[in-house]
Structures are given as C-alpha cells and as structure tokens.
Structure 1
C-alpha cells in the first residue's frame, strides 16, 4: 500500500465512523456541546462539511490542471455553511465528505503517485498523500470532537494515528505555546505505544521534537500514540486521559496541556 493509499483508506474509515453516528443525532444533540470548546456539534460538522467542499474543489482543480479556488471562493463556502440550520449542516457534511472521499478513491495508482495539488496556503503544491493527510488531520480530530460528546473515553483510530504521528514534528513550532512555560525549559523523553516510538520533546522557544534523547532527561512521558496526537492538539483533558498515560520528573500533564492548548 502506497502512502496515498493508506491516507485515503484512513479517510474512508473516519468518514464511515461518523456516518454511522451523525444520522442518529437529534436536533437537541446537534445543538449540544462538542469537544471543541467554542462550537456545538452542528458547528463542528459545518466546519468539516465546508472543509470537504473546499478540499474537493482544490483536488478537482489539480485534476483539471486549472488554478485552485482562492480565498474569495473559500469565504463564500464558509458563509453558506454558517447560514445553514443545524440539521442541514449535519446532512450536508455527510454528502460533502462522501463526495470528497469518493474523488480520492477514484484516483488511479499513477495519479496517486504523480499528481500535485495547490492547496492555496502552502509554499508549493503537495502530493496526494500530503494533501489527503492534511484533510485527515482535520477529519480525525473533529470526528473525535463529535464522538467525545457521547463517549468521554473516545480515541483516535489506529489508521489515523499511524498517518498523523510522523507529521506532528513539523507542526510543533506552530501549535506549541512556549510563553506558557514562563521561561522554564526542559527536555522530556516521550515513549509512545501503538505504534511504538521514542523521541525527545524540547520545551523551549520554539517547542520541538527530535530523536536525540538524552540519557538523563528532565522528565518522561509515556502514553499511547493516539493520546500523544490528542495531547498536542489540545484534546487530552483530565476526563479524556487514558490510565496508561504517565509522567515523571519536572514536567507534568498540566504543563504540557498549557503548552498545547489546541487548534
């Protein structure tokens, strides 16, 4: 299975998981809180639906060898979705996301390897695997925002975790907030399971990770890989932290939650 194949398969799994839940939600539930603090469930689905529509337009433009839709087009999509009622957002998400994933699934092997997609916000076009992985990051995390409203022990799928984990290193300089450390610095040895990995989390300005793990770190963090993805995306609050998550040394989970407030 190629990188693009694995990403597209993970997108399908995430979609089908939500597609089994969303049609069962009542109007009251759609108006209820989600894992995204400032959005109700329908607003999370609106964000996912508008994102699917924009992503599909961008992918189709690449296939047609024409310029990708720009910000003016994105804003008109956002405005239309924001104006929808809650039930319309839920139904619209299912259709828009299915349409996007079907387009990804329709790509033949050569196209999956050779096509480059201009996303409109990256320095240069990216390959299909990278474009799909960016969408997977959005879909997997916001899927969790929906599912956690009904299951406080909700987790990310193994397929999404495996695809998202390697790319987090390049994002920490953006999502980490070193000002929350109040001038403190430190190196934490992080060990994940499922999949297993060991790396150094460097708390400073900027926040970063690498594989140069010191023999005597300032602290340790041991956790499932999916919990690491949720931690750095601001989704590992006390109610949603597995018992397998442990810390030692100078840096505890409260500090790490402050450094990674979410996005």
Structure 2
C-alpha cells in the first residue's frame, strides 16, 4: 500500500476504537477531566469533531477544484461546536469523523497520488498522504487525551505510532520552546522501542531532530515510541510517564518537558 493507504487505514482503526469508547460515555464522564490539562473530555471531542468538519470541507474543495473556505468559515464551525452540550459534542464527533474518514477512503488510487489539498497555512498544497498524516497526528494524540482521562497508563494507538514515528520533523522548530534551555546546548541520543528507532535530538535554538543515531551524544533518552511522540506533544507529565523511560547524562525529563510544553 502507498503512504496514503496506510495512513488512512490507521485513521480508520483509531476512529473505530475510540468510537466504541465514546458511544458508552455517560454525561458525567463527558464532563470529566482529560489528558489535556485545560479541557474536559467533551471539549477534546469538540476539537476533534470541529477539525474533522473543517477538513472534510477542505478536501471536498480540493476535489472540486475550489479554494478552501478559510477563516470566517472555520470560526463559524468552532463557535457552533463551542455552544454544543457535552452529549451533542460526542454525537457530533462520531458523525463528523466518520464522514471525514469515509471521504479519505473513497479516494481512488490516482487521487491518493495526485490530489493536492490547500490547507491555507502551508507554503503550498499538500498531497493526500501528508494531509492524512497531519490529521492522524492530531487524532491519535487527542484520542490519548480522552483515554488518559480514564486511565493514566493510556498509550497512543500502535498503528498511529508506526506511521508518525518516521514522519517529517519540520514542525519541531515550531512546537518546541528553546528559551527553556537558557542558552545551553546538548545532543541527545534517543532510542525508542515498539517500534525501534535511533534518533538524534539537538537541544539548541532552533531545536532539531534527525532520523539517525547521534555522534558524540551528551546524554541518552530511552523510551517507548509512543511515549516519545507524547513527549514532543507535551503529554509526558510525570503521572503519564512509563517506568521504562530512562535518561542519562544531559538528558533531563524536567528540561525536555519544558522544551516540549505542548501546543
């Protein structure tokens, strides 16, 4: 299968698994805490539902050869979702994400290779694999937010981890906060498991990551791949950190949590 095929399949798997959980939520659970510090579970579902609605319109616009609807439309969607009750957010999450994933699944082989989608905030329109992977990244991490509200030992779905671990690192400079380094610089050897990977994390300004082992590392970080993805997204607070996470030398979880404080 192509990259688009495997990413879309991971989206489907992740949605189906989370939908089974969401369908059983009580009103009390929907207003309970999530892994996202400032949102309850219904607000996480609102974010995923409104995002799916906006992306559906964006993909359809690309298929029709039209520009994306843009800022005013997006704001109207967010306003509507913000005004929903928790139960309406849960129901809307199920409907809108099913619609988006079914739309991705409906694309034929040529469209999956050749269609270009203008998201409005990238330098140029992106291919289906890139757009679907961006959605998968958001969906997988916010799915964890939902599950972590119920279980502090929740993990990111394995199918998503495989697709996201080897993805491009060009957003690291945007999501990291190098000011937390106070002018220091270090090279960290990152070793992940499930799946295994060797990465180089350069704590500098800007912060960068190479998908290759480090030379002359100042410290090491060993952890499950899903925990590495959560660390980068500000989701490896102490209560959510597996016991298998190990550091040596200049690698400090306290510092890393400040550099990757979330977005």
Question: Shared fold by TM > 0.5?
Answer: yes
CA contact (8 A) 2:45 2:90 kept: yes
- Alignment of 1:93 onto 2:93: yes
CA contact (8 A) 2:176 2:259 kept: yes
- Structure 1 stretch 1-10 or stretch 151-160: which is displaced more? 151-160
Aligned partner of 1:117 in structure 2 is 117
Structure 2 counterpart SS, 1:6: helix
Q: Distance in 1 between matches of 2:151 and 2:217?
A: 35
Q: Distance in 1 between matches of 2:203 and 2:144?
A: 27
CA positional deviation for 1:211: 4.9
Distance 1:22 1:254, change over 3 A: same
Q: Distance in 1 between matches of 2:177 and 2:38?
A: 20
Q: Distance in 2 between matches of 1:262 and 1:20?
A: 27
CA positional deviation for 1:216: 3.0
Aligned partner of 1:225 in structure 2 is 225
RMSD over equivalenced CA pairs, Å: 1.2
> How many residues are treated as equivalent by the alignment?
263
Q: Describe the superposition over 1:2-60 as per-residue Cα deviations: whole angstroms up to 9, x where unpaired.
A: 00000100100111111000111111111111111111111110000000000000001
Q: Distance in 2 between matches of 1:117 and 1:149?
A: 34
Aligned partner of 2:256 in structure 1 is 256
Aligned partner of 1:191 in structure 2 is 191
Q: Distance in 1 between matches of 2:118 and 2:197?
A: 32
Structure 2: segments with no counterpart, 5+ residues: none
- Alignment of 1:102 onto 2:102: yes
Q: Distance in 1 between matches of 2:215 and 2:49?
A: 47
CA positional deviation for 1:238: 1.3
Structure 1 counterpart SS, 2:167: helix
Q: Distance in 1 between matches of 2:128 and 2:41?
A: 29
TM-score normalised by the chain length of structure 1: 0.97
Structure 2 counterpart SS, 1:153: coil
- Structure 1 stretch 207-216 or stretch 116-125: which is displaced more? 207-216
Q: Distance in 2 between matches of 1:216 and 1:76?
A: 51
TM-score normalised by the chain length of structure 2: 0.97
Aligned partner of 2:247 in structure 1 is 247
- Structure 1 stretch 96-105 or stretch 152-161: which is displaced more? 152-161
